[in-house]
Amino acid sequence: MKRCVGKKILIVAMALVLVVGFCGGAGAADKYPSREIELMIPWGVGGATDVVFRTFLSVIPKYLKVPILIVNRPGGGAVPGYAEGMQKKPDGYYMVAWITASLTKTHMSEVPYDYKTFDPVIMIVDDPCWVLVPANSPYKTINDLIDAAKKNPGKVTMGNAGAGGGTHMIALAFEKKAGVKFNHVPHQGGGPTIVAAVGGHVDSCNMSPPEGVPQLQAGQLRCLAVFSEQRLKDFPDIPTAKEQGVDFVMGQWRGLAVPQGTPPERIKLLHDVFKATMDDPDFQKLAQKAGISTVYKGTADFRRHVEKENEFYKNLIIENKLGTRYNK
């Protein structure tokens, strides 16, 4: 009898150890974040999206004790990068750069993801596009470029950061507004596009700050017009397209998203860290120097913005009979 009682006590004791151990382990696992977080950017180093987030990461250590590591996955109109991202665990340790081009490509061709595949976290930038030309370009105004395109349809080249991406879509919308036809030249991201413009390999390019800022300041490029309602505060000498008689305003937004199903409390933590960084004086100085236009939208507002933009670009692509998804 004593032996049986002893066995029962031993079994109960072992069960208690397992329960306590399990609860302690669960508590440790819930401590988020406990390791580095990966941020995937499906464009190359040196493009606007890359510059924006690398600028952020220089200040984020004030508010987050684990590192955020950028992994660039350029090429394929961002499709390979996002296709890889949608396979990642929704555990808060993986984020993607979610921008205008994230949506446009989904309506240009059949891709494995759409605007609902990733959960928006925060919008941090909304930059108007601008048209840049090499320093020795004969075009001095946006109307010079338009006139040349009218005289030579399909001959004047305009670089963009990727076929079906945001800068490509905006350039197409602009040519429709101006009543011209450009020869659109895609590149694998904003960095290579700027290099092509500086080297005179394209007549012009449609980009958005901070792309082109160092080259403008160094005199390697000139800006013909900015697609905004008002002149940019940091570039007061650059006229808007509207000032030059072309009523066209359009730009690109940039933010963060995570794989669908990421726990809401972890999304909130990431949101709060980036919002604190946006408000930080050190970051604001760096952003101004880099030509980054910060525009904040919280998680719910950003989701609504993405839904609205998705519908806009879908209609734009269908209306212009672009791509292959709706034109089979």
Q: What token pair was written down for 226?
A: 């900015």
Spatial contact of 222 and 137, defined as CB atoms under 8 Å apart: yes
CA distances, 38 to each of 64, 83, 120, 262 (Å): 13, 15, 16, 14
pLDDT confidence tier of residue 30, bands split at 50, 70 and 90: low
pTM equals 0.75
Give pLDDT tens digits for 182-225.
999 999 888 899 999 999 999 999 998 888 999 999 999 999 99
Residues across the chain: 328
- Pairing verdict, β 37-41 and 68-72: parallel
Task: Work out the average pLDDT over 150-179.
Answer: 91
Q: Which amino acid is at 156?
A: V
- Give SS3 for 92: coil
- Residue 126 in this model has a pLDDT that exceeds 60: yes
Percent of the chain with pLDDT over 90: 68
Tell me the residue ranges of DSSP E strands in 266-322.
Answer: 294-297
The pLDDT assigned to 23 comes to 38
Spatial contact of 258 and 242, defined as CB atoms under 8 Å apart: no
CA 9, CA 13: separation in Å to the nearest integer? 6
Give pLDDT tens digits for 254-295.
999 999 999 999 999 999 999 999 999 999 999 988 888 899
